[in-house]
Amino acid sequence: MSLTFSIRIAAWLGLGCLVGSTYAASPANADWSNYLGNKERNLYSSLDQINRKNVTELKVAWTYETGDKGEYQANNLIVNGVLYTPSPTRQVIALDAATGKELWKWDPAKERCGAGRGRQRGLVYWQNEKGGEARLFTGVNNYLFALDAKTGEVIRSFGENGSIHLGEGLDAEPRPNVGLNTPGVIYKDMLILGGIGGPGAIRAIDAHTGKRRWIFHLIPRPGEVGYDTWPKEAYKTATGLMPWCGQSLDEKRGIVYIATKTAEPDFYGGDRHGMNLFANCIVAVDANSGKRLWHFQIVHHDLLDKDMPCPPVLLTVTHKGKKTDAVAQGTKHGLLFVFNRVTGEPLWPIEERPVPQSDLRGEQAWPTQPFPTKPAPLMRQRYTEDDASNISPETHQMTLDRLRASPNFGPFPAPSLNETIMFPGFDGGMEWGGGAADPNGIYYVNVNEMPWLVQMVETRRADGTPLRPGERDYMVYCGPCHGMDRKGNIPGGFPSLVDVEKRKTRLEIETITRQGGGRMPAFDMIPEGARTAILDYVRNENTLSTGGRPDEANNASATTSKAPSYAFAGFRRWLDKEGYPAIKPPWGTLNAVDLNTGEIKWKVPLGEYEELTKRGIPPTGTENYGGPVVTAGGLIFIGATADETFRAFDKETGKILWQAKLPFGGNATPSTYMVNGKQYVVISVGGGKSGRPKGGSIVAFALPETK
């Protein structure tokens, strides 16, 4: 049945229309009014005007330049013919969705939050049923704002003069700094959201007033489920767990599904012995009250930054001959866990298998980790000599030599002072773009197969002498991203801090450490003495052999005495001398999994390096960020790749049916909608990942007008 015919029947019956998961306001219009398409987060559209037969005719319909440059990762909303997008500098922009003409723009620089920055993956749209008022919710720095969807004006009755501090209402003192890069989900008149930074919690906020309605503590308090999986006082000091990747909602049942982060520090757990619930979990919570209904921990006592990278996907499958409402959770290590969304029972058995144990002093690694028996892993689970790169004889030998010196021990190598190949890698497997699912129970997801390197370092020198307080604290708080040598990780988005004193003032650096910026969350939990010592160290201003300013040296030393015994040596992709992943391709894939049976339906490379193709090497796939959209027209649309290309695949076979070059990398999940009888597919285009050029464009595609 076509979308238009379905709409006409619904209109004739006086029902309005909800076709599939895409709201259609009239026969000629269909919205994309929620992040990732709908509250189920299944990235499915029932539009079929663009389909297998005509997709080759797609042309650029319009483009828009935000004027920003950065990691533009927004999944754009389209409501009543208006497209809403958060730009790379966190401006909110409204466009005519048929033409790309700007309607209004909101700049947060004039608000108490100050100018925005850092990746933002979407907005929340809420329609007040009683008054008809429509609001947009957006996060900037530590604040959540409510905007009038028609004008872009701040709604001053919300919170304190139009915004709330995201650290309020977390039951933590002092008030933590908390950011937001992924939007929450609306249930009735509540906004349910997580965040970045601060103590672990999920909460519901009144969409009218900004006041907290309920909270679920992800680091349990005394008397709460999971309290005994932590040290007794952990809830007072532990951080992390904030569910940054988004939530999904079974609106009919009133159940919200939460995917949580790793406990901190990410790579050493000597001060957080135990299983650490509810870190690295999928948690089902009553959306009315915040009461836990069920949970499953996908990684116990995580030591490898394996936080849940994407929101749970809700879909319906036929399991053992019966229709079953399910929830599927993807992971960074390429495993897919599938549960009955009501009971929490896994659809297929999940086994606890032994994993390598850590030899670091004070560490108590968990002896086993969960592995689903179905579906099969969507990527290789171990780097063996058979996986050594084959794009050239030189690269093949180089990867063999490194592998023999730094072997891989599967998806859970125990952190050690010895360097180890981390494969699956830190950025997936699955990543924040998430998976799509169609009504037939088929799940589609893109996967990375990138090797990284993992190593811990002691926070004392090899001769046993203590490091300067600033150097030691730098290793603990800053080194994992900016490198122990301060040279940064540019492909990963972490800048060098060498000679930073020549580029930024001390106050500018201090402000960034407190409020966050770019990929960095707020580090307001750093003790003041340690912060001072770090600033001295990175600016080469140390005046004492012990580090720190003369008046704070003793204080800085005291604040670091309880620091972890080890620090992570930094995020390091393993690349060959030509800059390609140091492993045999594929480096990125698109996958279809039949969740009725648990079998992988097809797998194809995603992305291409033209220069390698010209050398006679088959398409390798590339590192990819951003998810797919699947449609009733039989198509999967996805950008994501490092080759600045937007593609349409046949959802039945995985064959590429159409592709178009983009001005920058499409590291965002696309949206599809209909205005005035015409279907569009739109994607935010900002690049910046994998060391690629940066921009800030929106590109919309449609079929040409028929004569």
Q: How confident is the model at residue 468 (pLDDT cuts 50, 70, 90)?
A: confident
Count the alpha carbons within 13 Å of 364 in the hemisphere toward its beta carbon.
10
Instruction: Report the DSSP beta bridge partners of residue 631.
Output: 45
Residue the block writes with tokens 């850092």: 118
Per-residue pLDDT reduced to its tens digit, 119-161: 899 999 999 887 789 999 999 999 999 999 999 999 999 999 9
Per-residue pLDDT reduced to its tens digit, 178-203 = 999 999 999 999 999 999 988 999 99
Confidence (pLDDT) at 198? 87
Of 545, 541, 564, nearest in space to 553 by CA: 545
pLDDT tens track for 291-336 = 999 999 999 999 999 999 999 999 999 999 999 999 999 999 999 9
Is it true that the peptide bond before 581 is cis, omega within 30 degrees of 0?
A: no
Calculate the CA 634 to chain-centre distance: 27
- Once rounded to an integer, what is the mean pLDDT over residues 207-223? 97
- What pLDDT, on a 0 to 100 scale, did the predictor assign at position 653? 98
Q: Average the pLDDT over each of 47-61, 363-377, 686-700 and give the range with the smallest value.
A: 686-700
Burial class (CB within 10 angstroms; exposed 0-12, middle 13-18, buried 19+) of 516: buried
Average pLDDT over residues 692-707: 92
Spell out the domains of the chain, with CATH numbers in brackets.
174-355 (2.40.128.630), 456-569 (1.10.760.10)
pTM comes to 0.89
- For the chain, how far is it from start to end, CA to CA, in angstroms? 26
Query: What is the predicted pLDDT for the residue at 519?
Result: 65
Average pLDDT, the chain: 90
- Closest-CA residue to 255 (of 295, 219, 217, 308): 295
